[in-house]
Amino acid sequence: MPSLGAINLLPITSSQHGRIHNHFLYTTCSQKSKSDAQSIRFGVRVRAISPKPEDGSVNVASQSAASSTSFLSVLCPLLKFFGGGDPSQGRNELIEVATSSISSLARFPWGSRSINNSANNPMTNAPNLQLYEFEACPFCRRVREAMTELNLSAEVYPCPKGSRRHRDFVRKTGGKEQFPFLIDSSTGISLYESGDIVKYLFKQYGNGRSASFGLLESTVLTGWVPTLLRAGRGMTLWNKAGIEPSQKLQLFSYENNPYARIVRETLCELELPYILQNAGIGSANSDLLFSLSGSREVPYLVDPNTGFQSGDYKAILSYLFKTYCTDTSKVSA
């Protein structure tokens, strides 16, 4: 098996949290966004701009997202209550795989296949994308599904409830704690609102394509299924989460893979930033994954801090909890 040093992984270049230089902050045209949008200072002046919608559907989508976000604020505490507990303890594998697999079925076909795998291969023309999100959020899921379709890799900064690092950065940079939040340092653009982010990604990196049918509209219908079935996994910071590693972990994944979902949930609960290498069906990244692991199966985690590499999701969970927590004495994952 080749070592990490022998493989040229995605050369995403950014400083801690991706420093921003004279970029524009885009928000939606909703009333809430207009009231929140304002010029702020974060080292440099950032201007908040509300773009005009291309058609009436943008306003409808924004209103639906706003009402759904309000519902999410009520739902999250309930999920935490019913699905709470120590995530590092042993789990019922049958239930874990079954609930994640049904979640994938509910969102199929979105987030499974790459439709942009050759002309703009991100391995050679890497967009400097930083995504601030949390795994359980259906609107963050919408953006990750789009990234899978576009074969885009990105730096992911998990922002679970109780976040000690990344939520504060989003609040200081954008003016509010709202997710997802995307920074594209190659164009100087920052965006809230999942619908706007998806449209931007397809316009910028889709080679003329539009989002696949139903991707945007389906979120308010079935985007909640993984959140509900997974009982709030990937939503709240684990109270024994440790310090941030010096180098970002790298995860080969695609959004709708049931085993990769379980790993991403853990990365979120530990607030571990990582480079997401999307390797959906038909993705050029699958070839890179094969050269690294001898397989095209995901998830596959690489930790350059320790040299750990594995494609076994249970081994990955055990490793993450034992390596990146403050108390390993009771870890049994």
pLDDT of residue 68: 47
Is pLDDT above 70 for 119? no
Residue 8 belongs to some domain of the structure: no
Residue 285 belongs to some domain of the structure: yes
Taking only the tens place, the pLDDT of each residue in 26-41 is 333 333 333 333 333 3
Taking only the tens place, the pLDDT of each residue in 207-266 is 888 887 777 878 777 888 888 899 878 999 999 998 889 999 999 999 999 999 999 999
Is pLDDT above 80 for 301? yes
Report which of residues 3 and 258 the model is more confident about.
258
Residue 9 belongs to some domain of the structure: no
Taking the C-alpha atoms of residue 274 and residue 285, their distance in angstroms, rounded to an integer, is 16
Report pTM. Answer: 0.76
Taking the C-alpha atoms of residue 285 and residue 75, their distance in angstroms, rounded to an integer, is 36
Domain residue limits at 42 = 18-323
Report which of residues 21 and 219 the model is more confident about.
219
DSSP lists the bridge partners of residue 310 as 301
pLDDT of residue 209: 85
pLDDT of residue 116: 72
Residue 53 belongs to some domain of the structure: yes
Taking only the tens place, the pLDDT of each residue in 61-104 is 444 444 445 555 555 555 555 555 677 777 788 988 999 989 88
Give the count of domains, the chain.
1
pLDDT of residue 205: 92
pLDDT of residue 224: 81
Residue 102 belongs to some domain of the structure: yes
Taking only the tens place, the pLDDT of each residue in 127-186 is 599 999 999 999 999 999 999 999 999 999 999 999 989 999 999 999 999 999 999 999
pLDDT of residue 318: 95
Residue 328 belongs to some domain of the structure: no
Residue 214 belongs to some domain of the structure: yes
Taking the C-alpha atoms of residue 248 and residue 45, their distance in angstroms, rounded to an integer, is 28
The residue with tokens 């909640």 is 224
Residue 25 belongs to some domain of the structure: yes
β-pair type (154-158, 129-133): parallel
The span from the first CA to the last CA of the chain, in angstroms, equals 26
Q: What is the mean pLDDT of the chain?
A: 77
